[in-house]
Structure 1
Amino acid sequence: MVYEFIENRFVPINGIIANNRGFLYGDGFFETMLILNGRPTFWRERLLRISGTLSYLKITLNVSFNDLYQALTSVAGNEISTFQRARLSFIRSGAGKYRPEVNECDIFLQLESVDEIQFSGSPIKNFDMGKLKIPSDVAGNFKLIGKHYQVLAALEAEERNVDDLVLLNNKDEICETISGNIFALKDGQFITPNLSSGCLNGVIRNVLLENNLCIEDSMSLTDIQNSEALFSTNSISGITQLVKNGTKTVGADIVEDLKTKLNQLLLNSTLDLRGSQP
């Protein structure tokens, strides 16, 4: 179902209009989140990323975060499903070509039910190293509309008959996976690439960093080859273990312990009533 934010509420529409600036110029960004029992998970962390992306794109938000939260929970709370996937799209309004006429934005919501999230045990994906390289650019830190690198990487994974790819940047540093951040277990410590690698400034990544459950550092192919365990994160699936040929790594149990901690943080985030403001 697709909704547009109009007068402080989300109103059902037939679809996102094709002649908006997001369609014409990729002039906007999106935020994907898991909705649990009608409430968005890690809302405070998402608002920090939304605020940063608005600033980067020089887009003005003409609604309070509190009103946005209330509108989102009002719609999501009417759904029967416990687990939902929500995508908020922020598209610069108005006409113009490369130079926009205004800097306000239109907000769209796409909401769909998802299968019950696996709270015990981690999904497992077979992975390989990707051939496509990601630019080590600050733009990669944001969820901008144009995601052609990820689309091409997903097509490459399909051609090579693997579930996921670990992607390098143009400096041959480890960057991310197709749809999430990557983590390696090394000497008992989880590490994830710095934002300078061009990786996504992921919400789950930030939650793990804020709670001292991992550190960020530059990562090389050697770190992947010598890791005791590998996993990726994104907002819908949480933690997914990455393996070769379906074989669990020696650090798989440590990853499971981390997933248990993350699940508790996820549940707590939906009860944090401070979450309507960053």
Structure 2
Amino acid sequence: MSQTVSVEDRGFTLGDGVFDTALARDGAVFARARHVDRLLLAAHRIGIAVSRDAIETAIDAALTMEPAIIRTTVTRGTAARGLWPASAGAPTVVVTTAPWSPALVGQPARLITATGRRNEFSPTANLKTLGYLDHILAAREAAEAGADDALILNTRGRVACSTIANVFALIAGRLITPSLSEGCLPGIMRALVIEAAPSLGFAVEERPLAPQALAGADAVFLTNSVRFLRPVTALDGMPLAQGDLAALQAALLARA
């Protein structure tokens, strides 16, 4: 079913909205409640009064039995000109799908360090908003350098995230990942790794992570909801250690 969005929609004109990307298989969205909860929280944080029913109904209409990447976009809708409108219409909710392949899971990634920084002090630092241009430009940097993704540091020069994923480092048997105060998104797969790790013998620390620490880590990996766990093989042309992450990957796939 086709759907059109007004050229006056604030998502189109101002990037005034939020989105979520999830994996659907066999007619069900993996970790659906977590994805919807996060999307609702982000929308409400920026003042978009969208209902859970509107989101759930739109997702249901898009589901098929084929594996798919499900993207749910929520905008403030149409409104009169001006940055903060005196009034706005109903929120716009759009769900789109794209084919998903199991080959995406576990693909190794070579990273470069992006020149741009992520502002951990921004009120939207922990929200998945439509304003993704900084990450788009970092992805262009990576592509031009022949890399698969870019490591993005925050304003204090510490690890924040990659363009599309959270970052973990395995150091002396402990999984280290930047805390949300470092400017990363509260990734769904990030949360699942944090929950699953202790049962596999890994202690987890959410804390600042210096990029120099990645060079001496036993393993570095990325997490997102489409690729699950993605090992990082190199950073800025320097090879990184490849620790055994099979048990952790298996634990995540078992939940899907």
Asked if these proteins are the same fold (TM beyond 0.5), I'd say yes
1:196 maps to which of 181, 197, 219: 181
**What SS class does the counterpart of residue 193 from structure 2 fall into?**
helix
Could you tell me how far apart the structure 2 residues matched to 1:250 and 1:237 are? 18
Between the two proteins, the alignment pairs up a number of residues equal to 246
Summarize the Cα distance change of 1:166–1:264 in structure 2 as closer, same or farther, 3 Å threshold. Answer: same
Could you tell me how far apart the structure 1 residues matched to 2:196 and 2:90 are? 35
1:43 maps to which of 20, 26, 32: 32
The alpha carbon displacement at 1:140 in A equals 2.0
Say whether 1:53 aligns with 2:42.
Answer: yes
Q: Unmatched 5+ residue regions in structure 2?
A: 199-203
Summarize the Cα distance change of 1:258–1:91 in structure 2 as closer, same or farther, 3 Å threshold. Answer: same
Could you tell me how far apart the structure 2 residues matched to 1:93 and 1:265 are? 35
TM-score, normalised via structure 2 length: 0.88
Summarize the Cα distance change of 1:18–1:256 in structure 2 as closer, same or farther, 3 Å threshold. Answer: farther
Q: Among all aligned residue pairs of Structure 1 and Structure 2, give the percentage whose two residues are the same amino acid.
A: 23
* Structure 2 partner of 1:73: 60
Q: Which has the higher contact order (CA 8 A, sep 6+)?
A: 1
1:56-75 CA-to-partner distances (Å, cap 9, x unmatched) read 111111452xx643552343
2:137 maps to which of 131, 147, 152: 152
In the TM superposition, 1:249-264 aligns within 5 A as 249-251=241-243, 253=244, 255-264=245-254
1:215 maps to which of 205, 212, 222: 205
1:31-76 CA-to-partner distances (Å, cap 9, x unmatched) read 1111111111111211221122022111111452xx6435523431
Could you tell me how far apart the structure 2 residues matched to 1:219 and 1:63 are? 35
Could you tell me how far apart the structure 1 residues matched to 2:77 and 2:133 are? 23
Summarize the Cα distance change of 1:103–1:218 in structure 2 as closer, same or farther, 3 Å threshold. Answer: farther
Given that 2:55 and 2:93 are in contact with CA atoms closer than 8 Å, whether structure 1 keeps it comes out as no
* Structure 2 partner of 1:24: 13
In the TM superposition, 1:30-179 aligns within 5 A as 30-64=19-53, 68-77=55-64, 79=65, 81=66, 83-96=67-80, 97-100=82-85, 101-102=87-88, 104-117=90-103, 122-137=106-121, 138-179=123-164
The alpha carbon displacement at 1:99 in A equals 1.9
Which deviates further from its counterpart, 94-103 or 84-93?
A: 94-103
Could you tell me how far apart the structure 1 residues matched to 2:184 and 2:150 are? 14
Could you tell me how far apart the structure 1 residues matched to 2:162 and 2:176 are? 14
TM-score, normalised via structure 1 length: 0.81
Summarize the Cα distance change of 1:52–1:71 in structure 2 as closer, same or farther, 3 Å threshold. Answer: closer
* Structure 1 partner of 2:201: none
CA RMSD of aligned residues (A): 2.1
2:220 maps to which of 204, 215, 230: 230
The alpha carbon displacement at 1:93 in A equals 2.1
